Chain A
């Protein structure tokens, strides 16, 4: 077969051809090109509903691709420099699960930083893998967790030579990158897989002067949230594989949990977005970086805000920084990040990605323009003028190193009871507690609850963080294991 060019979009082309055929639908979905659901068609548009269709011969099948989806996956693999790429329609969560489930079986160890997304720990609950956490380094001034030090990874590998894989965030939500290439080489030298969570790193594959991408670093698998900086529809992602993994086995793992009714809206959005990035990615991310650098410079002129960047780089725990991230520390304004986040939305009609205790993140993409950037800067300047207050009593730390007592699966499925949060000090937590976003657990199943953590949770609630995870949605009570471990 001739190699297709990146200008092609096989799924899009197949859908267009399919529309021309005007098939009479006696298959699912039952809305039949939208005709059976007029309200929905009016809301989403007829063009959208006519391609919300089921797998069929000319459109291929996501679970067993042999036609258009196969071609599209091959093009994606080429665009990302991977050996194989999978279209994922169950969110990057599904891609992360597939990585962990590919690398680990029950009882297998995996080395990873604790500031991972909840989907990583969820996958361990599912498969019974046991985490070997590396506490990320902290930046005391900003209160944020950084990357992993190479020497910490080295020690963890030496102490756990039987571990199956090392997982790396590339980058973190805040834009921090570890030394991915060296960590990958270290993992490979010890017969471990290098897995990468690139939920926030799609642009590393297409922009210029970006931190190194997982595939370029020689890593084995990577989960890429195409719907974040890549521009595809929410819930669509890529799972990438390097040469060391058996991609047909990976597909079997994906098919354990992924839907058999893959949405063609999501699939086509991945295909079209891959083509767009392959053809125009350099220009797109040059523009994004230009806007973010401008915003960073202007925000740092306002005073009290600190929009940080590459000056954090220290050769190890901050090996590189993703300059497309507009992360801003708000501590010196006396306002928690979450308070600035709420003010921006409630008073200035500006919705940013997240605010935590001391930082905010504004997500800037190809869809932005300078007009809106000016609004953000103007609003931050006004918030400082009108709301600045004394900063005594503010909590600075976004991250508290956990005391892991049990693996996530044992912690989650153990016999549990519900106790008051205030009375939980010293108990083993059997559920997650996290602020969402960013979705990095404060507590995961199997971890000991401490006074410091209780104080953090209460402070986050008081400041207005959206706490998720526990059965008790108000997070006044918490599930703990009966009788300790």
Chain B
């Protein structure tokens, strides 16, 4: 049998993974959820047919979305994670003993249930006592919080599905309001490479720049995302992502990581010229 999962990265570019079997498929109230098993990438989760994570490369994404802000902010106690039903970001966060509370907001409870069952590699820390789960719209949740969080992580899907509201100015503005006066927001920032992704990327950046004093973008290489070149947003009221990096302090924690290190942290904010230009255009 020759069974392949494929995803159109553009109208004329296709990415495919040979699949051993499909482990799960269902339509939730919000989206279609599928879990596949493959030889090369292990198990992987797709939402509405779009790749969310694979067991093989999820560490890159989750380390980069969590450790970058954690190495900058001197004292993160209260964190809000929006999206991220796979649990990967939560897993990385719970490795920090100093974090006191993690509010986790995901619109689709079924994603969490499915990941707990089929992707224990990422969905392993939901039972941590510090994690409080809320299954509702992120925009609605954030609206009612003010001056409360040290760190907000926006681990959303693409802006064309249920995650659309998490790419809007009203959402970023509400995040600003919900952060303390030295708070940091990190978000999944799409890709600069293919045109449609780049438009979404620029739009998101424009909206964040309008809301935050400091707004920088950093990159990582994620093989299973369109073009493999992926960006994250770092927005903050006070701390600069590179100048305020406390490498010694973070290294002293002794956290073992496979992708992230404090040298790469600095380097990840050095962007290719064409990406700098795109960002500059909307700043």
Q: A347-B169, A348-B169 are in contact. Are A381 and B164 (CB under 8 A)?
A: no
Complex CA–CA separation, A451 to B170 (angstroms): 40
Q: Would A385 and B168 count as touching, CB distance under 8 A?
A: no
Give the residue of B137, B140, B164, B170 whose beta carbon is less than 8 angstroms from that of A382.
Answer: B170
User: Are B162 and A371 touching (Cβ within 8 A)?
Assistant: yes
A371 (CB) vs chain B CBs: closest residue: B165
CB distance from B24 to the nearest CB of A (A): 24
Chain A residues with Cβ below 8 Å from B177 are 382, 385
For the complex, is A379 an interface residue (Cβ under 8 Å from B)?
Answer: yes
Residues in B whose Cβ lies below 8 Å from that of A386: 173
Encode A428-452 as 1/0 by CB contact (under 8 A) with B: 0000000000000000000000000
Q: For the complex, what is the distance from the CA of A375 to the CA of B140, rounded to whole Å?
A: 8
User: How long is the Cα–Cα vector from A404 to B139 in the complex, in angstroms?
Assistant: 50
- On chain A, the residues within 8 Å of B170 by CB distance are 348, 375, 378-379, 381-382
Tally of A-B Cβ pairs under 8 angstroms: 49
* Residue ID in chain A nearest B210 by CB atoms: A347
Q: Which residue of B lies closest to A385 (CB)?
A: B177
Given contacts A371-B137, A371-B162, A374-B137, contact A381 B168 (CB under 8 A): no
Given the complex of chains A and B, what is the CA–CA distance between A371 and B157 in angstroms?
Answer: 14
CA distance A371 to B159 in the complex (A): 12
B134-179: which residues lie under 8 A (CB-CB) from chain A? 137, 139-140, 142-143, 162, 164-165, 168-171, 173-174, 177
Query: Shortest CB–CB separation between residue A465 and chain B, in angstroms?
Result: 24
B168 touches A349 (CB 8 A): yes
Looking at chain A's contact residues, is the secondary structure mostly helix, strand, loop, or mixed? helix
Residues on the A chain within 8 Å of B143, using CB: 298, 374, 377-378, 381
Residues of B within 8 A of A459 (CB): none
Residues 295-327 (chain A) with a chain B CB within 8 angstroms: 298
Chain B residues whose CB sits within 8 angstroms of the CB of A370 once the complex forms:
137
Interface string of A364-406 (1 = CB under 8 A from B): 0000001100110111011001100000000000000000000
- Give the bracket for the number of chain B residues in contact with chain A: 10 to 19
Question: How far, in whole Å, are A195 and B168 apart by their CA atoms in the complex?
Answer: 45
List the B side residues contacting A385 at CB < 8 Å.
Answer: 173, 177
Whole-angstrom distance from the CB of A404 to the nearest CB of chain B?
45
- B164 and A378 contact, CB distance less than 8 A: no
Bound complex: CA A229 to CA B207 (Å): 33
Contact of A378 among B162, B171, B210 (CB under 8 A): B171
Of chain A, the residue at the smallest CB distance from B173 is A382
Which B residues touch A374, using CB under 8 A? Answer: 137, 139-140, 143, 165
A-side contacts of B162, CB under 8 Å: 371
B146: nearest chain-A partner, CB-CB? A385
The docked-state distance in angstroms from the alpha carbon of A124 to that of B177 is: 54
* Cβ-defined contact, A375 with B173, below 8 A: no
CA distance A255 to B162 in the complex (A): 48
Q: Please give, as numbers and ranges, the residues of chain B lying within 8 Å of A348 by CB-CB distance.
A: 168-170
In the docked arrangement, what's the CA distance between A298 and B177, Å?
17
A386 CB, nearest partner CB in chain B, Å: 7
Q: Which residues of B contact A378 (CB under 8 A)?
A: 139-140, 142-143, 165, 168, 170-171, 173-174
Within 337-378 of A, Cβ neighbours of B (below 8 Å) are at 347-349, 370-371, 374-375, 377-378
Q: How far does the Cβ of B217 sit from chain A's closest Cβ, in whole Å? A: 21
Q: How near does chain A come to B183, taking the closest CB pair, in angstroms?
A: 16
Cross-chain contact B174 with A375 (CB below 8 angstroms): no
With a 10 A CB-CB cut-off, give which of B168, B177, B210 has the most chain A CB atoms: B168
Cα A382 to Cα B171 in complex, Å, equals: 9
B173 neighbours in A (Cβ, 8 Å) = 378, 382, 385-386
Given the complex of chains A and B, what is the CA–CA distance between A474 and B210 in angstroms? Answer: 33
The answer for the CA separation of A348 and B171 in the assembled complex, in Å, is 10
Which B residues from 200 to 257 make CB contacts under 8 A with A?
210
A12 to B234, CA, bound (A): 54
- The interface residues of chain A lying within 8 Å CB-to-CB of B164 are 371
Residues of B within 8 A of A382 (CB): 169-170, 173-174, 177
**A348 and B165 alpha carbons, distance in the complex (Å):** 11
Q: Closest residue to A381 on the B side, CB-wise? A: B143
Give the residues in chain B near A371, CB-CB below 8 Å: 137, 162, 164-165
Least CB distance from A344 to B in Å reads 9
B137 to chain A: which residues have CB within 8 Å? 370-371, 374
Question: A445 to B148, alpha carbons, bound, how many Å?
Answer: 58
A-B contact pairs, 24 of them (CB 8 A): A298-B140, A347-B169, A347-B210, A348-B168, A348-B170, A349-B168, A349-B169, A371-B164, A374-B140, A374-B165, A375-B139, A375-B168, A375-B170, A377-B140, A377-B143, A378-B170, A379-B169, A379-B170, A382-B169, A382-B173, A382-B174, A382-B177, A385-B177, A386-B173
Kindly list 17 other residue pairs between chains A and B, CB separation below 8 angstroms, not including A378-B174, A379-B169.
A298-B140, A298-B143, A348-B168, A349-B168, A349-B169, A371-B137, A375-B139, A375-B170, A378-B142, A378-B170, A378-B171, A379-B170, A381-B174, A382-B169, A382-B174, A382-B177, A386-B173
Top 4 A-B pairs, shortest CB-CB distance:
A378-B170, A379-B170, A382-B173, A374-B139
